A and B are shown apart, each in its own frame.
Chain A
């Protein structure tokens, strides 16, 4: 699924968008604890989280995750936005909860289990 389709499915707001036209998302990871995210090594992942913290962007950076969705209508701070721009990471926000967001993405075809490295 392309990033612009994720935006549609989650009725998301695009906070930062970095050249993601060629990016195909196969799998999603929803978590509020970053080490749980890092236990999940897959490629072409979108990260959904309710945690507003610059370490979300750092975690995405380490894991080569290019798209972060902040759920439940939470807005990232300017520090988070600046870091995401620096790291080339797209940030979206959605009013939907974690559960509903994951369900909507799954229903729309983001069902991949990815490839472990």
Chain B
């Protein structure tokens, strides 16, 4: 453990719509236990959940690495999926490549990345076609 920071790691299983979101749920619980301001917990939980669901529906799952510092939460969601060919396009509200079976599960509004952008204090997307995507979400707690 890095000094001054609490680290958490989770697997994000592929194609599991019952358990998808459990990592975000655990992080939310932890932040609440640490007494973090509820609005900040909500911003963090929504952003992480959107990224977690993207890893499930677009990239066959992945992994989550979370660092909770005194003044910020940093969430990295990594996958080895297909990557995002055009990030600027993917960031647009309503843009989605989700197939019908994903829409039937309640996803594919094309609002996940825009929601992350809105709720996170900083959002970084590192992606390479054919290699995978790492989304880094930072929420400041102070």
Contacts and interface: CB of A to CB of B under 8 A. Distances in A.
Contacts of B50: 35, 38
A12 interface: no
A41 B43 CA distance: 9
Given A39-B115, A62-B42, A56 B106 contact: yes
B108 A33 contact: yes
Interface string B86-118: 000000000000000001011111111011001
Given A53-B17, A55-B20, A55-B105, A117 B49 contact: no
B47 to A, nearest CB: 9
Interface in A53-111: 53-56, 58-59, 61-64, 79
Contacts of B118: 39
Given A63-B42, A64-B42, A79 B107 contact: no
A62 B43 CA distance: 9
A55 B17 contact: yes
A55 B21 contact: yes
Q: Which of A35, A39, A41, A64 has the most CB of B within 10 A?
A: A35
A29 interface: no
Interface in B44-80: 45-46, 49-50, 53
B38 interface: yes
Contacts of B20: 55, 58
A48 to B, nearest CB: 13
Nearest to A83: B18
Interface of B: 17-18, 20-21, 24-25, 28, 38-39, 42-43, 45-46, 49-50, 53, 103, 105-112, 114-115, 118-119
Q: Which 5 A-B pairs have the closest CB atoms?
A: A35-B111, A58-B21, A33-B109, A35-B109, A62-B45
22 contacts: A34-B53, A34-B106, A35-B111, A35-B112, A36-B111, A39-B114, A39-B115, A39-B118, A41-B42, A49-B106, A53-B106, A54-B17, A55-B17, A55-B20, A55-B105, A58-B49, A61-B25, A62-B28, A62-B45, A63-B42, A64-B42, A117-B43
Given A33-B111, A55-B105, A62-B49, 10 more contacts: A33-B107, A34-B109, A35-B110, A39-B118, A41-B119, A51-B105, A53-B105, A54-B17, A62-B28, A117-B43
